[in-house]
């Protein structure tokens, strides 16, 4: 029988492009058609219900029972018109995926009939039980109940004939068990702190909210080839595989012409995304062969996070129709680029301004510099937590992998802003500033040229880069729920802005003018946060040494990195901002360690399985052929010729034997180490030991397997090769 790999390859020979057409002429005709958005609400709700719901969305006012019933019933009518038969509360448990539990609208009535029903109570709150979700000990079995509660600020939508209602997920005792709850709380904290600071400049600013524009990277692999790689199926990445002779060294894929199967897939993806109101805008080829990116227009952060979660679901769903499998893993292939999810983050106001856009007037400039410097200082003060917010077993494989930012957090701000901050730092002390204020009525903040936007960035190596009117956090992993890093960013900036406000008002109380007080604190922050600024090459070895001198942390591995979540500094900050409690933080910390352990355990098991059941038998089979051949040669050749000719083959046989024996031995050692580690009671220690004692075997074993791949007859090799996975399309 032909080997599985060749059957899979044969399947790709006749692949056709699966063309899709738009459901109507223009995108704008179907954009948002599956969303219970403002327009739909206006159409379906009574005036009273609409107004009440708007108050809930804008001002967080409680919705009353009668109105909730009205909203639910309108939602149901709208959803049924669009073919929905079920509804679900849609939430983000700490698994990192999204969760749903579908209920039918059906309710039996007398006479053996049934009617469709959806009540306000079902809309607002549910108890999905869901006791199998990770909770880090927050829910003991006797209080295993978890509740989901409607988040009216993110619109309901229909997918797969199901009405999905975005919700938060909390325990019976009120602790959050999801990402959305702390995200919403972090937004509230940020708004409170930022509005206070903005009011120092402009009384019209009464609302501030963070915006997020994510860029999602992913790989496309033909579904048949994917299925022929058990490691891709179970772990999302290739555990073995020698590099392809050609991969990304010619840079011919980046921004190249999108091949027709991928293009058809993207078009389909965009149609589905647009129906759901996800404003996808950009698509292009990425650096690695088979790697792509898509990005929407930015949105308010809560909706943007929901949309990213939905998009990841759509990627998977739509790809099947096109005989592709989307790989979202941070590092599916060794030796070539992995995938990230750049999180572009900024602050918007009710006055329609972007607080990270340098202004035109000196006062606007002082506001911009104030916000900007506060962010730098926040990131500096909490750099370990910022790093921790993107840590995962997957992302550890990518960060520092020579195409992604390292595990050291620094901020890139560009030449012009560096110069501006340097100038401010050098400016005269308060007395002279007062003189300035007296004569000009404002402080001489150095002018920030308007061309700034086009001049910044393009330092692709920075994990946190200012790109003209937003910060781009590039260390986020491609599978991550963006809420995780965004909760951290919102909260630390909120905390920093509160501190700033207190310091400024304290100075004002001691008779300093407002401008002078702001200026004084800004100057201090510029000086204090200097170590976080780095304009050079983040991939370089020199930077590692320099960062160490500056006292910045460097934690390449998750178990070390996420300790920052339970440090005194972090707990105090999150509790001050009312985003997460110490108990919640400890629970989350343990859950992440546990997830880390499980991921490594699965990979280790599979490495053992593949090595023992796929690789070694194949190598032995080929070795036997060689042995038989050498024996045959001995029979037909005179001994002198035989010795001269067989030497290479015998060499080969010996090489193969050595690799086989190394794989055997290393696998046995790894299994022994794993079993011992599994018995460690403390999850902190277990994760550490998995990282330091079990994981190192992965690369050691892989080395020998990848060598064998080059030695063994291609016809026998059981695993799809890199050149096939990356280039067959
Ligand atoms: P690239 O980084 O690939 O060169 P851009 O710098 O144009 O691309 O950034 C694109 C991303 O930045 C998009 O997702 C876009 O929505 C987002 N973005 C632009 N402005 C903002 C903003 N004010 N807040 C948040 N995200 C933004
Ligand atoms: Mg970008």
Average model confidence (pLDDT) across the chain: 91
* 198 lies in the same domain as 156: no
Ligand 2 is a single-atom ion; what residues have CB below 5 A from it? 342
Predicted local distance difference test score (pLDDT) of residue 433: 42
Q: Check whether residue 97 and residue 238 sit in a common domain.
A: no
Evaluate if residue 455 carries a pLDDT over 60.
no
Q: Are both 286 and 424 inside the same structural domain? A: yes
Counting atoms of ligand 1 from 1, which one is nearest the CA of 344? 26
pLDDT > 80? residue 401: no
CA–CA separation, 529 and 383 (whole Å): 11
Is residue 617 located within the same domain as residue 564? no
Nearest atom (ligand 1) to Cα of 214: 14
Domain annotation covers residue 91: yes
Tell me the mean pLDDT in the region 572-583: 97
Q: Is residue 695 a part of any domain in this protein?
A: yes
Q: Does position 601 have pLDDT exceeding 80, yes or no?
A: yes
What is the span of the domain harbouring residue 525? 188-580
Q: How many domains does the chain have?
A: 3
The reply to whether 73 falls in a domain is yes
Q: Where are the alpha helices (DSSP H) in 456-540?
A: 483-509, 514-528
Residue partners of 596: CB distance under 8 A and separation at least 6: 392, 393, 558, 559, 687, 690, 691
Mutate to test the pocket of ligand 1, among 295, 339, 371, 405 (most ligand atoms within 8 A of CB): 295
Q: Does residue 437 have a pLDDT over 60?
A: no
* Average pLDDT of the residues in 345-366: 89
Q: 191 CA distance to ligand 1 centroid (A)?
A: 21
Between vectors from CA 139 to CA 93 and to CA 564, what angle results, nearest 5°? 65
Out of 143, 177, 211, a domain closes at 177
Ligand 2 midpoint to CA 446 (Å): 28
* Residue 367, token pair as written in the block: 């506001």
Give Cα 140 distance to the centre of its chain. 30
- Provide the Cα torsion 335, 337, 341, 347; round to 10°: 120
Same domain, 398 and 481: yes
* 548 is a domain residue: yes
Domain of 627, CATH number, reads 1.20.120.1560
Q: What percent of the chain has pLDDT over 70?
A: 93
E strand or H helix that includes residue 292: strand 291-296
How many whole angstroms separate alpha carbon 176 and alpha carbon 138? Answer: 9
For 116-165, write each residue's pLDDT tens digit: 889 998 999 888 766 677 777 665 544 557 889 999 999 999 999 999 99
Residue nearest to atom 1 of ligand 1 (CA): 215
The whole-number pLDDT of residue 211 equals 98
Q: In terms of domains, do 199 and 276 share one?
A: yes
Q: Which residues contact 636 (CB under 8 A, 6 or more apart)?
A: none
pLDDT of residue 284: 87
Domain identity same for 259 and 204: yes
User: Phi/psi at 280 (nearest 5 deg)?
Assistant: -60, 135
Q: Would you say 410 and 572 are in contact if contact means Cβ atoms under 8 Å apart?
A: no
- One domain, residues 159 and 83: yes
Q: With bands split at pLDDT 50, 70 and 90, how would you rate the model's confidence at 585?
A: very high
Residue 232 is assigned to a structural domain of this protein: yes
CA of 21 to the centre of ligand 2 (A): 29
The lowest-confidence range among 94-98, 207-211, 378-382, 489-493 is: 94-98
Contact 475, 410 (CB under 8 A): no
The residues lining ligand 1, judged by C-beta closer than 6 Å to any ligand atom, are 211-213, 215, 295, 297-298, 344-346, 354, 467, 469-470
pLDDT at 109: 87
Which DSSP state fits 340?
B
Please tell me the distance between residue 429's alpha carbon and the centre of ligand 1 in angstroms: 37
Neighbours of 636 (CB within 10 A): 8
Spacing, Cα 530 to ligand 2 middle (Å): 24
The CATH number of whichever domain residue 173 belongs to comes to 3.10.20.70
pLDDT of residue 346: 98
pLDDT for 287: 81
Mutational test site, ligand 1, from 294, 298, 460, max ligand atoms within 8 Å of CB = 298
Residue 312 resides in a domain: yes
Question: Is the pTM value of this prediction over 0.75?
Answer: yes
pLDDT tens digits for range 645-676? 899 999 999 999 999 999 999 999 999 999 99
Task: Using the structure block, give the residue that is written with the tokens 């040229």.
Answer: 449
On whether both 212 and 142 belong to a single domain, the answer is: no
DSSP secondary structure letter of residue 468:
S
Asked whether residue 302 falls in the same domain as residue 208, the answer is yes
CA separation for the pair 362, 464 (Å, rounded): 26
pLDDT at 696 over 50: yes
pLDDT at 295 over 90: yes
Distances 615 to 625, 637, 700, 715, 716 between C-alpha atoms, Å:
16, 33, 15, 13, 10
In a domain, 536, yes or no: yes
> Does 724 have pLDDT greater than 80?
yes
CA of 458, nearest ligand number = 1
Question: Does residue 79 lie within any of the structural domains?
Answer: yes
């Amino acid at each position: 029988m032909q080997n599985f790999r060749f059957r899979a390859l044969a399947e790709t020979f006749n692949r056709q492009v699966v063309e899709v057409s738009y459901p109507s002429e223009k995108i704008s005709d179907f954009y948002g058609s599956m969303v219970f958005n403002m327009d739909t609400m206006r159409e379906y709700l009574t005036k009273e219900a609409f107004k009440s719901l708007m108050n809930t969305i804008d001002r967080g006012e409680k919705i009353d029972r009668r109105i909730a019933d009205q909203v639910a019933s309108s939602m149901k009518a709208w959803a049924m018109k669009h073919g929905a038969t079920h509804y679900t509360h849609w939430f983000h448990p700490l698994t990192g995926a999204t969760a749903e539990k579908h209920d039918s609208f059906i309710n039996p009535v007398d006479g053996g009939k049934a009617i469709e029903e959806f009540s306000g109570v079902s809309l607002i709150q549910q108890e999905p039980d869901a006791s199998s979700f990770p909770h880090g000990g927050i829910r003991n079995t006797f209080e295993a109940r978890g509740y989901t509660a409607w988040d009216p600020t993110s619109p309901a939508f229909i997918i797969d004939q199901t009405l999905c209602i975005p919700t938060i997920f909390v325990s019976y005792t009120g602790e959050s068990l999801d990402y959305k709850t702390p995200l919403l709380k972090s937004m509230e904290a940020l708004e409170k702190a930022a509005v206070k600071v903005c009011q120092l400049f402009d009384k019209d600013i009464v609302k501030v909210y963070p915006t997020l524009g994510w860029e999602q990277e992913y790989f496309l692999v033909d579904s048949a080839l994917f299925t022929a790689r058990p490691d891709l199926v179970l772990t999302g990445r290739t555990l073995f595989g020698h590099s392809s002779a050609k991969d990304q060294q010619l840079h011919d894929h980046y921004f190249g012409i999108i091949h027709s199967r991928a293009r058809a897939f993207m078009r389909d993806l965009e149609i589905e995304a647009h129906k759901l109101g996800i404003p996808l805008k950009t698509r292009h080829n990425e650096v690695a062969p088979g790697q792509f990116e898509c990005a929407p227009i930015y949105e308010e952060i809560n909706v943007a996070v929901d949309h990213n979660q939905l998009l990841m679901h759509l990627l998977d769903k739509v790809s099947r129709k096109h005989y592709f499998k989307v790989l979202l893993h941070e590092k599916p292939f060794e030796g070539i680029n992995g995938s990230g999810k750049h999180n572009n983050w900024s602050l918007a106001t009710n006055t329609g301004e972007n607080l990270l856009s340098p202004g035109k007037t000196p006062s606007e400039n002082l506001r911009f510099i104030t916000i900007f410097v506060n962010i730098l200082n926040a990131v500096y003060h909490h750099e370990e937590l910022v790093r921790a917010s993107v840590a995962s077993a997957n992302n550890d494989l990518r960060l520092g992998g020579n195409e992604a930012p390292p595990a050291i957090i620094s901020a890139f701000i560009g030449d012009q802003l560096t110069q501006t901050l340097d100038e401010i730092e050098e400016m005269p002390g308060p007395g002279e500033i007062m003189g300035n204020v007296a004569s000009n009525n404002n402080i001489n903040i150095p002018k920030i040229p308007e061309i700034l936007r086009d001049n910044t960035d393009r330092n692709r190596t920075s994990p946190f880069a200012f790109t003209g009117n937003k910060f781009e956090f590039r260390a986020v992993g491609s599978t991550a729920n963006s809420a995780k890093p965004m909760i951290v960013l919102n909260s630390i900036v909120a905390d920093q802005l509160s501190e700033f406000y207190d310091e400024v008002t304290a100075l004002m109380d001691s008779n300093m003018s407002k401008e002078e007080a702001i200026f004084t604190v800004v100057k201090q922050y510029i000086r204090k946060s200097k170590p976080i600024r780095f304009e050079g090459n983040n991939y370089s070895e020199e930077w590692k040494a320099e960062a160490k001198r500056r006292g910045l942390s460097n934690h390449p591995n998750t178990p070390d990195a996420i300790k920052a979540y339970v440090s005194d500094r972090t707990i105090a900050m999150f509790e001050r901002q009312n985003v997460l409690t110490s108990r919640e933080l400890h629970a989350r910390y343990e859950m992440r360690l546990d997830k880390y352990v499980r991921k490594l355990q699965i990979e280790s098991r599979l490495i053992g399985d593949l090595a023992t059941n796929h690789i070694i038998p194949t190598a032995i089979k080929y070795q036997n052929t060689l042995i038989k051949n050498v024996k045959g040669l001995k029979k037909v050749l005179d001994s002198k010729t035989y010795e001269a000719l067989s030497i290479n083959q015998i060499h080969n046989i010996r090489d193969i034997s050595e690799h086989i024996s190394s794989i055997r031995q290393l696998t046995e050692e790894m299994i022994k180490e794993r079993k011992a580690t599994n018995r460690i009671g403390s999850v902190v220690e277990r994760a550490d030991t998995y990282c330091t004692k079990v994981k190192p075997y992965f690369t050691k074993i892989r080395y020998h397997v990848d060598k064998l791949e080059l030695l063994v007859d291609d016809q026998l090799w059981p695993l799809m090769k890199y050149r096939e996975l990356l280039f067959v399309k």
